[in-house]
Structure 1
Amino acid sequence: MPEGVSLPTVSVVVVNYRGTEDTLTCLRALRTELDYPADRLQVICVDNASGDEAAAQRLAAEPGVLFVQAERNLGFAGGCNLGVAQATGEVLAFLNNDARPHRDWLSAAVRVLREQPTVGAVASKVLDWDGKLIDFVDAGLTWFGMGYKRHAGQPDDGSHEIARDVLFGTGSALLVRAGLYRELGGFDERYFMFYEDVDLGWRLNLRGWRVRYEPSSITYHRHHASMSTVDSSREYYLLERNALASMYKNLSDRTLARAMPAALALAVRRATARAGLDPTQLEITNRPADPAEDAEPVAVPRSALSGMLAIDQFVDMLPALAAAREIEQSKRVRSDADLIPLMRKAMEPAYPLPRYLAAHEILVEAFGLDEVYGKSRRVLVLTGDSITDRMAGPAIRAWNMAEVLSGEHQVRLVTTNPSCTPPEATFEVHHAPRRNLPEHVDWADVVVLQGHALEFLPGLKQRGSTKIVVCDLYDPMHLELLEQGKDGTDEQRGKDLLGVTRVINTQLRRGDFFLCASQRQRHLWLGHLAALGRITPELYDSDPTTRSLLAEVPFGLPAKPPQRTAPAAKGVLPGISATDKLVIWAGGVYNWFDPLTLVHAVDRLRTRRPEVRMLFLGMKHPNPDVPEMGVSGRLRELAQRLDLVGRHVFFNETWVPYEQRQNWLLDADCGVSTHFEHVETMFAFRTRILDYLWAGLPIVTSDGDSFADLVRGEQLGVVVPAEDPGALADALERVLYDEEFAESCRQRIAAVRERFTWEVVLAPLVEFCRSPRPAADRLPGASPLVRNAPLGTGGVLRRDLALVKEYLDNGGPAELARRAGGRLIRLARNAGKRHG
C-alpha cells in the first residue's frame, strides 16, 4: 500500500468445532505471519459448542484473539454470524480453522476492495496445505442450484493467475465489506453448513455487487473436515436441501417456474441412482407370487433417503424462505441472464451416473431449460420520436441500437410518439402512451432511453429504483434549445431552458451508464457529472478514464455500402440534369444551422459554374411535433429573392424515407453542412455528415464542431470559416471540379467510414449490456471502506502535523485556533448530517 494510506480494519472470523490444534495453528499464523498492520487487525475465534472445556480455555487464552463461546452448535453459517456480531472492522474476513494464510492474504484482497468500489467481496485463491493442488480458483453453479469449485484437485500449474469475477467465493477464505454483509443479513443460518457461501455470493451479484477472485490473496487448506466422522448421507442431505433453498430464494419468477419442478424431480433421480435402487420394484406387474411377501419392508439406503428427506424438509422451510425470497427479489438489480456467464457451465449434469444422466437430458428438454439458461437479457430502447419509414436522427439511432442489441438479447423498441408505423424488424416495436410505459419497464432488465423519456417514468427516476438505466446524451438538448427558441420571448426561453436542464440533470443523477457522441461531448458531460457529485474518488480510483460511466457512442452508418434502388434527383427533378454538379444538404433545416451563407455561396458560384445545383433534402420533419423553424422561412425568402429557386436551389418538401435516402446521396457530387459559430456547434454531432461518409461524398463543412476536426484531420473535404460565403463558394468549386482532389477525398472516406458503422460505434453499449450493473455510487449498501481513521494512523497524523506547522507559520497561535475551531464546526455538522 502507498505510504500514508489509511487501511481499513479487518475482522477475521475463525469458527472452531472440535479442531483445537488446527484452530490454534490458524490463529497464531494470523497474528505472526500476515503482512498487515496489527493495529488494523481484529481476530475473532468462535467456538461452536465443541463441548471441550479445556480446549475452549486454551483458545480463550490465545493472546490477541477475541474468543466467543456459542451456547450450541450453530453450524458454519451461524458461527460466522456470531463472530461478525463482535466485529468492529470495515472489512470482514472468513478463514477456515484448518487453513493458514499467505503473508499477503489480507493486503492483496484489501487492495482489490480499495481500488474497485463495485467489488463487494474478494474470493481468495485456496490451495492444499502443500500449495500444490487447487482447492478454489473459480466458481460454478448448475441450473439445479448446486455450487462447485471448478478445477478442484488439479495441479496449480500457473494458469489461474488472472483475476476474474466469480459468482461466489469459498467460505473457507473470503473477504466481504462489513456494511454490505450486514445489509445482506450475513450467511443464511438456515443452511447450517454447505452452500451458505454460494447463496451469499449469488445475492451479492443479484444486488449489483461483484465477487472478485484475486490470485495473489492465497490461503492453504488442510481439509480436516468437520464432516470426516459423519456418514456421507448427512452431507448429501444438506447439499440437496440447501441447493433447493438457494434456487427458491434467488431465481426470478420466470426462471423458477421452469427450473424448480425439474430440480425436484432430478433430486429424486439423483438419490435413487446414487443408491442403485430398482426404480421398478413397486410396479404392479412386479408383485411376488406370495401376497405376504408383497407387504415386506423395502430396504432404502441412506444415500437414497437423503434426497427424499431433503425435499421433505425443504417444504418445511418454505414459509421462512418465502420471506427471504421477497427481500431478495425486491432488492435485485441484475437478471438471471446476467449471471449465466458467472455460472460457467449451468447445464453441467455434475454426476456421472447413467440413469441420472438420462433423467437430466429428459428434464432439460421437457422444461425447456436450454432456452431459459441460454437466453440473454431483455433490453428496452425508449424514444419519443416517430418510428416510420421516414425517421429523424433520434429514431434512427434508437432503431439501430435495437437492431444491434437484438443480435444477443431480447429487445423492444418503444416510442411514446403516436406516429408509429415501423418497417419490418427483427425485434419488437411498440407505440406506448405514457401511462403504459411502466409495463414495458417492468419487462426489461436494462432500459436505454433518450430525450425526455425518463420524465414519463417517475418510479424509474428515483435513485432507489433498482432497474439498470442507460441514458443516451448524444443530443445536448439544453444547448440546442438556446438556438431553437430564439424566436420566442426571453421569459419563455428562460423557463424552457430551466426545464430542459432539469430533465438532463435528472438523467445524470439517475443513470448507471451514459452515452455521448464525441470527445468534445465527453468533456461537456463530465463537467455536468462532476458538478452533480457523480465523479467520486471511488469511481476515479477504479476507473481513472471514467469510461465505465460515460462512453463515446457516435451516430453510426450501415456496414453495407449504399445500393441504388431507383433514380432520385438527377434527371428526375425538373431543373436538375444528369450532367449537373449536385450539392446535397441531407437533413432538416433548423435554427442552429446556417443555410443562408450557403445560398449566398451558391449564388456566387453559379456565375462561373452555371451547372451547380443545391438540394435541401428535408424541409418537413417526419415528427409532426417538430414545427418548422424560423430559419426555414428566411432560407426560402432569400433563395426566391436571389432568383435561385428551381434554377440552382431546390427544396424537397417532404422527408425522404430512410431506406431510400441512398438514391439521393448517390446522385450527389458532394455533401455540405454549414452552421454558425456558437456553443451549440461546439458540442453538436452533425449526423448528416455520416450519410456523406456512407455514400463516399467529399464534404464541405463550417469549422467549429467535432466533424470539422475529422474532415480536416482525415482530409475528407474542405473546412471553411463560419459565415464566409466566398470561402464556401471556393470550397464547393474545389470538391466539385478538382477531380484529383475529390478522388483523394473519396479514398480517405472509404477508410474512415469503417470506424463509424453501427456495429463498431455501439460496441460500448453492447459490452455494457452483456454485463449490466448499477453505477458504483448507486450500489445498495455502498459506503466508504475506511471511516473515522484514528489519529494515530500514519497518513492522517502526518497531514495534521503539517497543517499545524503551516498555520503557525502563516498566522501564529491565533490562526491555528481559528482553523481548528472551523474544523470542529465542520465535523459537528457532518456528524449531524450522518445521524440526522
Structure 2
Amino acid sequence: MTEGDRAGVLLITPEPVGQRMAGPAIRTLELGRALARDGRSGPVTVVSLAGVDRSDPSVSLTAATDAAGLRQRVRTAAVVVIQGDVLGLHPWLADEPLPIVVDAYDPFHLEQLEQARPLGETGRRAVVRDCVRSLNAQLSRADLVLCASGRQRSLWLGHLAALGRVNPLTYDLAPDLSRLVAVVPFGIPEVPAPPRDRGVLRRTFPAISDEDVVLIWGGGVYEWFDPVVLVRAVARVLPDQPDVRLVFLGTRHPVAGVRTATDAARDAARETGTLDRAVFFHDGWVPYDERGHWLAAADVGVSTHKDHVETEFSFRTRLLDYLWCGLPVISTGGDDLAEHIAGHGAGTTVAADDQEGLADALLRAVGDQAWRARAGDAAATLGHSYAWDRVAVPLADFCADPARSPDLLLDPVDRLQLGLDRPAGSFSVLSRLRAGWREGGAELIARRLRARVRRPR
C-alpha cells in the first residue's frame, strides 16, 4: 500500500470500550466522534485492545486483540492517535511511516508514585521506571503530543526537551512549538445534560429525599485522592445541616483488576456514624450514557485530593461532568481546572487536608441556595467552552492535514547531530522484558503486563 492509499484516522485505546468506561476509553471515543463531526479527516475508527461492547452511529468501533489485526488497520490509516502504553504493547508502531499523535493527557508516571505503594519499594521503583520508559518511547516517536492544559504542556515540553525533541527543526516549524505539543482538554458532550430527577438517586438510596442537599463524587476513588477528609467534613457539618448527603458513584472500576481506594472512606463513614445515613456508596460503576442522570439529580459536585505532584499536573475530568450538569463545584485546589472553575465563580476550592476549611465550604453550599444557583449557572456557562467539538480543534486541524515531524525523518547521522541518539523504536518488547527480568523476575513482568491494560486514569 502506498502513502496515497491511506485514509482516515485510527484512534487506539488499551482500555475496553463499552457501556461502562473510565477516562481513557471515554476520551478516545469522544475525540473520535468530534473528528467524525468535523469531517475533514475522512473515516474515523476507534480500536480497543481490550474489547468493544457498544456501537456508535458516527465512528467505527472495533477490537484488535492481536498484532496482526491491528497492523492491518494501521496500514490503511492516514494518521494514528494512541494513548496509555499502546506503543509499549505494540512497539512496531514506531516504525510505521505515518504520523502518530500521542495523547498524553494523563501523566500516569506521576499517578504511579502513589498507586504503586502497595508493591513495596522495589516494585514501586520498577513500575515508575517502566512508566518513564514507556513515556520516553512515545514522546521520542510522537509527531504531535496532546495534553490537557497549559500546565501539562510545560511538563511535556520539558520531557521532550530532555529527549532532544525541542530542536531547530521542530522550532523552525513553529517557534511556539505548537506543531509539537497541542492543548486538547477533556471535554463535555455537545447535547444538553438530562433534566433533574431526584428519583434516580432515591431508587438506589431510599434514605435520600427531595429536600436533602446531595453532594456527589462522580468518578473513581484512587490513592492520590482524599475521600476521608470529605467524609469527616460531612460528619462535622451534619449537626448544623442535617439534610446534607454525600454519594460516591465510582466504587468499582470498569476494568477488572484496577484497584479503587474506597475502603478508607467507608471506614471513616462507619467511624463517624454517617455510613448509609448521610454518606452512601454506589456499588459499581455507573454506565457512561447514564451518568448525566445521576449527576443532574445532585446539588453539588465534590472532589478532594492530597497535596501531591500528581495534583499539580492533573486535569480532573470528573469536574467537567459537573459543569455539564450545571453543578457548583467544591474541590481541593492546586490543579488547573479547579482553580479555573473557582476563578469563574462556578465553585470554590479549599487547601489540601483542611478539614475545617472544607466544612466551612460545605456549610455555605448546603445552607445557601442562592449561592448554589449562582455557581450552578456559572458552571453551566463555563462548561460550554469545553464542548468536545471546540476542544478537539487542534487535533482535527492536524488530522485534516497530517504531517511527520521533520526531526523524525532524519537519517541516523543527522539524528545524532541533533542529540536524538536513541531511535524512536528502540524500546523493544525484548529489551523491556530483559530489564524487567533483572529487576524482579517473572512476577514483576506479569504484574507489568497486567498493569498496562488495567492502569487507571
Q: 1:527 aligned to 2:154?
A: no
184, 190, 201: which is aligned to 1:553?
Answer: 184
Q: Look up the match of 2:207.
A: 575
Corresponding residue SS for 1:405: helix
Maintained 8 Å contact 1:570/1:667 = no
Q: Look up the match of 2:424.
A: none
What is the CA–CA distance in structure 2 between the aligned matches of 1:624 and 1:729, rounded to whole Å? 35
Maintained 8 Å contact 2:196/2:297 = no
Q: 1:658 aligned to 2:291?
A: no
429, 453, 458: which is aligned to 2:91?
Answer: 458
Q: Once the two structures are superposed, what CA deviation does each residue of 1:492-514 show, in whole Å capped at 9, x if it has no partner?
A: 00111111110111000001011
Displacement after TM superposition at 1:780 (Å) = 5.1
232, 235, 244: which is aligned to 1:612?
Answer: 244
1:622 to 1:537, Cα distance in 2 relative to 1, 3 A: same
Q: 1:684 aligned to 2:314?
A: yes
What is the CA–CA distance in structure 2 between the aligned matches of 1:422 and 1:541, rounded to whole Å? 44
689, 709, 717: which is aligned to 2:347?
Answer: 717
Maintained 8 Å contact 1:434/1:456 = no
235, 259, 269: which is aligned to 1:603?
Answer: 235
Corresponding residue SS for 1:548: coil
What is the CA–CA distance in structure 2 between the aligned matches of 1:511 and 1:541, rounded to whole Å? 17
Displacement after TM superposition at 1:624 (Å) = 1.1
What is the CA–CA distance in structure 2 between the aligned matches of 1:718 and 1:570, rounded to whole Å? 27
1:661 to 1:500, Cα distance in 2 relative to 1, 3 A: same
Maintained 8 Å contact 1:717/1:735 = no
Identity among equivalent positions (%) equals 40
1:647 to 1:577, Cα distance in 2 relative to 1, 3 A: same
Maintained 8 Å contact 1:438/1:457 = no
388, 399, 414: which is aligned to 2:47?
Answer: 414
Q: Look up the match of 2:370.
A: 740
What is the CA–CA distance in structure 2 between the aligned matches of 1:548 and 1:783, rounded to whole Å? 24
Q: 1:494 aligned to 2:122?
A: no
Displacement after TM superposition at 1:747 (Å) = 2.6
Q: Which amino acid aligns with 1:508?
A: L
Displacement after TM superposition at 1:542 (Å) = 3.4
What is the CA–CA distance in structure 2 between the aligned matches of 1:656 and 1:425, rounded to whole Å? 22
What is the CA–CA distance in structure 1 between the aligned matches of 2:63 and 2:380, rounded to whole Å? 37
Displacement after TM superposition at 1:636 (Å) = 1.3
Displacement after TM superposition at 1:713 (Å) = 1.6
Q: 1:444 aligned to 2:74?
A: no
Corresponding residue SS for 2:172: helix
Q: Once the two structures are superposed, what CA deviation does each residue of 1:251-288 show, in whole Å capped at 9, x if it has no partner?
A: xx6xxxxxxxxxxxxxxxxxxxxxxxxxxxxxxxxxxx
Q: 1:388 aligned to 2:46?
A: no
646, 662, 674: which is aligned to 2:304?
Answer: 674
Displacement after TM superposition at 1:565 (Å) = 9.0
Q: Look up the match of 1:48.
A: none
Corresponding residue SS for 2:201: coil
Q: Look up the match of 2:423.
A: none
Q: Look up the match of 2:140.
A: 509
Q: 1:644 aligned to 2:274?
A: yes
What is the CA–CA distance in structure 2 between the aligned matches of 1:599 and 1:650, rounded to whole Å? 10
What is the CA–CA distance in structure 2 between the aligned matches of 1:406 and 1:565, rounded to whole Å? 30
What is the CA–CA distance in structure 2 between the aligned matches of 1:441 and 1:780, rounded to whole Å? 22
Q: Once the two structures are superposed, what CA deviation does each residue of 1:765-820 show, in whole Å capped at 9, x if it has no partner?
A: 00000000001212356998xx9xxxxxxxxxxxxxxxxxxxxxxxxxxxxxxxxx
Q: Which amino acid aligns with 1:444?
A: A
Q: What TM-score do you get using the length of structure 2 for normalisation?
A: 0.86
- Aligned runs of 1:99-178 on 2, under 5 Å? none
1:336 to 1:586, Cα distance in 2 relative to 1, 3 A: same
User: In the comparison of the two structures, how many residue pairs are matched?
Assistant: 410
What is the CA–CA distance in structure 1 between the aligned matches of 2:282 and 2:228, rounded to whole Å? 17
Q: Which structure is larger by alpha-carbon Rg, 1 or 2? A: 1
Maintained 8 Å contact 1:571/1:577 = no
Q: Look up the match of 1:214.
A: none
Corresponding residue SS for 1:617: strand
Q: Which amino acid aligns with 2:207?
A: G
Maintained 8 Å contact 1:702/1:719 = yes
Maintained 8 Å contact 2:19/2:54 = yes
1:573 to 1:530, Cα distance in 2 relative to 1, 3 A: same
Q: Which amino acid aligns with 1:527?
A: G
Corresponding residue SS for 1:615: strand
Maintained 8 Å contact 1:455/1:461 = no
Maintained 8 Å contact 1:620/1:655 = yes
What is the CA–CA distance in structure 2 between the aligned matches of 1:539 and 1:452, rounded to whole Å? 24
97, 108, 111: which is aligned to 1:477?
Answer: 108
Maintained 8 Å contact 2:173/2:179 = no
Q: Which amino acid aligns with 2:133?
A: R
Q: 1:753 aligned to 2:386?
A: no
Corresponding residue SS for 2:82: strand
Q: Look up the match of 1:424.
A: 56
Tell me which moved more, 558-567 or 640-649: 558-567
Q: 1:699 aligned to 2:329?
A: yes
What is the CA–CA distance in structure 2 between the aligned matches of 1:406 and 1:447, rounded to whole Å? 14
22, 29, 32: which is aligned to 1:402?
Answer: 32
Maintained 8 Å contact 1:571/1:578 = no
Maintained 8 Å contact 2:196/2:296 = no
160, 163, 171: which is aligned to 1:540?
Answer: 171
Displacement after TM superposition at 1:544 (Å) = 1.8
Q: Look up the match of 1:765.
A: 395
What is the CA–CA distance in structure 1 between the aligned matches of 2:405 and 2:413, rounded to whole Å? 14
Displacement after TM superposition at 1:336 (Å) = 5.5
Displacement after TM superposition at 1:651 (Å) = 0.4
What is the CA–CA distance in structure 2 between the aligned matches of 1:781 and 1:491, rounded to whole Å? 39
Corresponding residue SS for 1:756: coil
Greater relative contact order, per chain length (Cα 8 Å cut-off, separation 6+) = 2
- Aligned runs of 1:199-348 on 2, under 5 Å? 329=2, 332=3, 335=4
Maintained 8 Å contact 2:325/2:380 = no
Q: Which amino acid aligns with 2:331?
A: T
What is the CA–CA distance in structure 1 between the aligned matches of 2:173 and 2:59, rounded to whole Å? 36
Structure 2 residues not aligned, in runs of 5+: 418-457
Displacement after TM superposition at 1:455 (Å) = 1.6
359, 365, 382: which is aligned to 1:729?
Answer: 359
Corresponding residue SS for 2:188: coil
Structure 1 residues not aligned, in runs of 5+: 1-252, 254-328, 338-376, 788-836
Q: What TM-score do you get using the length of structure 1 for normalisation?
A: 0.48
Q: Which amino acid aligns with 2:211?
A: T
Displacement after TM superposition at 1:740 (Å) = 2.6
